[in-house]
Every structure is written in structure tokens, then in C-alpha cells.
Amino acid sequence: MTKRFVLIDRDGTINVEKHYLSDPDQLELYPGVAAAIRRLNQMDLGVVVVTNQSGIARGYFDLARLDEIHTRLFTMLEAEGAAIDGLYICPHGPDEDCTCRKPLPGMVDQAVADHHFDPRRAFMIGDKEVDVELGHGVGAVSFLVRTGHGPQFVESTKADYVVDDLPAAVNVIEGLLK
């Protein structure tokens, strides 16, 4: 049996939504997020972050700055014993016709190629309907969180589960795997 994976959106799900976060010092984790990711590690689930970063295409920040943000993110998580197996970004804008901008599956395809998991046995957690659509598209169980932009999608979402936040999603996953 291959390891199961949890696919997690970044902004509004792991860290507090700031409009086009462009400064590592603006990075702020939601409460309980690091502990929740640590629990996924302990449950022997893979953890991958999939994030649309059109701020690159829009010229708000560059890839070097994005790297600094992710170095700080990893440091903050590691400080609480939480580890991420992979992080995938779409740097493109909506009109670039790329294959990786959520809800398109390019980032998940790449993660599957790198980590060899079955996306139909994965879980997808995010605060926007594009995250839910990505999850459905690859056959994963999908969670909409009420942090970030979540509240505006709660009424119409096609998510399998609507939960308060990432730690709540991890609670549900823990129950599903029992």
C-alpha cells in the first residue's frame, strides 16, 4: 500500500490570507496549523502544498522573494516539529493558458510524479472553490475551510466536507482513516 497524501493550499489555509503576500515577515500561521501538519506526519501521511502565485506573473514579487517566503514557512513549521514533503507553485496569471493554475491539475500531476501516490486516495484542503475543484478533478476527498476566503464559498461549495480550519480537516481525516 503506497503512502496516502494530503494536498494543502497555502494562503488562507496554512497562513493568514494577506492580499498577494510578498514579504516573509508578513507570514503568519493560523492557530494549530503546525501541530495539525505534525499530526499528519505522525499518521504517516505525505504532505504537499499546492499554491497559485500569480503575484509572480503580475510582477508583485519575484521567484527569489517567493523562495524566501517558503524558507521562512518551512522554518516556522519545523520549529513546531512539522514537515512538508513538497511544495508546488503556479507562477502564471489567469490568461497564460498554463496547465498548473488551480483548478487545473498540473501541480498535483507533478507531485504524483515526484512522490508516487494515488491522487484518488488523497485529501485536498483549501479555502477557495478552485481548491475543491482541483480535489474533485483528481479524485481526492475535498475540504473547504472557513479561514481565508472560505466563507464566501460555503453556500455553494461542492466540497465533501466544510470545516472551520486546517486542524478541523485533519481531525476528520484522522477519523476517516480509523
User: Using an 8 Å Cβ cutoff, are 9 and 50 in contact?
Assistant: yes
Residue 100 touches Zn ion, criterion: CB under 5 A: yes
Q: Are strands 86-90 and 46-52 parallel, antiparallel or unpaired?
A: parallel
Q: How far is the CB of 11 from Mg ion (least distance, A)?
A: 4
Range 73-132, binding Mg ion (CB under 5 A): 127
* CA atoms of 136 and 158, how far apart (whole Å): 9
* CA atoms of 125 and 134, how far apart (whole Å): 10
What is the spatial order of strands in the sheet that 46-52 belongs to? 86-90, 46-52, 5-8, 123-126, 141-145, 161-163
Helices (H), the chain: 33-42, 63-78, 106-115, 129-138, 166-176
Q: How far is the CB of 134 from Zn ion (least distance, A)?
A: 12
Tell me which stretch binds Zn ion (CB under 5 A): 41-49, 67-75, 87-95, 162-170.
87-95
Residue 90 touches Zn ion, criterion: CB under 5 A: yes
Which residue's CB comes closest to Mg ion?
A: 12
Which string of x and - marks every residue 14-53 that binds Mg ion (by CB under 5 A)? ----------------------------------------
Q: Are strands 86-90 and 123-126 parallel, antiparallel or unpaired?
A: unpaired
Residue 98 touches Zn ion, criterion: CB under 5 A: yes
Active site residues: 9, 11
Q: Which residues bind Zn ion (CB under 5 A)?
A: 90, 92, 98, 100-101
Where on the chain is the footprint of Mg ion (CB under 5 A)? Answer: 9, 11-12, 127
